[in-house]
Structure 1
Amino acid sequence: MPADPVFPAAHAPAVYLRALEPEDLDFLFALENDADIWGVSDTLAPVSRHALREYLAHASADFYLVRQLRLVVTTEIGRTPVGVVDLFDYDPLHQRAGIGITVLATERRHGYARQALALMKEHARRVLRLHQLYATVGADNTPSMKLFHATGFRQVGTRQQWLRTPGGWLDAVEWQCLL
């Protein structure tokens, strides 16, 4: 049985964040092996089911110890996942972390990412007591740029030729949100 959600969205109760469950194996397998998103996740090769089983076995580790947190985005309590939102690279001294979100290709353009980011921002502020979040977005990823802007992030800079892609080098746009 899936875990209870972390919390529902106040303005859109159809979106929830919850912990990873062993039952999420097939979902994670599909998400992690979607070559179309490897460029934004620094992935170069497929991920095995065995590796994902091992990951799921340890996914509930303490955020402050492993310095990362992945929550599943669902549209109803305990229902089929539509995406994940991650906090990573947690820095305890400066109380900040990177944030990223991935939504299944078939579930994009429904507002799930926007609502999930708003929920994770609130969780980072109230529960984890972070001071700020940051995101790095490929300069060609217009939907993600609009998403971070719409959820209160400010564009703070551009790293030139920061991301290597099959087509060459791509600039990375840096976003920051003070909580």
Structure 2
Amino acid sequence: MTQPVPAPKASAAPAAVRLRALEPEDLDFLFALENDPDIWAVSDTLAPVSRHALREYLTQATADFYVVRQLRLVVTTEISSVPVGVVDLFDYDPLHQRAGVGITILAAERRHGYARQALEQLKNHARQALRLHQVYATVGADNSGSMRLFRAAGFRRVGTRLRWLRTPTGWADAVEWQCLL
């Protein structure tokens, strides 16, 4: 007699994320994030950041996007207000209405769909509130996770810069991604 095959378990939908402004209480979270050597290569960081520098940064973090030409938002889940990452708009160009995008999700929180949801919310904010025409990202050619993320988030691969990024082992190519809003 054959045994019945159990139905596959339904995979739980990822928890919805929320983007919020930086708060002074985010100091410890930012300190841990900015001082994680595993992400320095993708964030162009070469040295640790002090608590003092981050405290100063937090006092300026609420400055007008159009003045400072950057915006950093904390990614949290709707279930918890605990930060799981950050998403950034940087290098805002007012003439051409575009900005670069960066995203970092804590290693322990990856592969839950947070990055994809955060990018969608950031794109909506960039389009509707900031009235940007486009956003772009530069990704190391060896960063397959980020390549999948930007493709899934509707970015289009528009080119490759050869030997663009200096790494501990030499030079690496960078892939350019663009999303028209």
- Please say whether Structure 1 and Structure 2 have the same fold, judged by a TM-score greater than 0.5: yes
Gaps of 5+ in 1: 1-10
SS in 2 for 1:54: helix
SS in 2 for 1:53: helix
Residue 58 (structure 1) aligned to one of 44, 57, 60: 60
Residue 123 (structure 1) aligned to one of 111, 122, 125: 125
One-letter code aligned to 2:77: T
Residue 39 (structure 2) aligned to one of 37, 40, 64: 37
- The CA distance in 1 between the partners of 2:131 and 2:80, in whole Å, is 27
One-letter code aligned to 2:163: Q
- The CA distance in 2 between the partners of 1:151 and 1:92, in whole Å, is 24
Gaps of 5+ in 2: 1-12
Q: Does 1:75 align with 2:114?
A: no
2:176 counterpart residue number: 174
Deviation beyond 4 Å, 4+ runs, structure 1: none
1:95 counterpart residue number: 97
Residue 24 (structure 2) aligned to one of 16, 22, 26: 22
Deviation at residue 76 of structure 1 after TM alignment: 2.3
Q: Which has the larger radius of gyration?
A: 2
Q: Does 1:111 align with 2:116?
A: no
Deviations 1:86-112 (A, max 9, x none): 000000000000001000011001000
Deviation at residue 14 of structure 1 after TM alignment: 2.3
Tell whether the 8 Å contact from 1:22 to 1:53 is kept in structure 2 after alignment. Answer: yes
TM-score (norm 1): 0.92
SS in 2 for 1:70: strand
TM-score (norm 2): 0.91
Aligned length: 169
One-letter code aligned to 2:131: R
Q: 1:12 to 1:119 in 2, by over 3 A?
A: farther
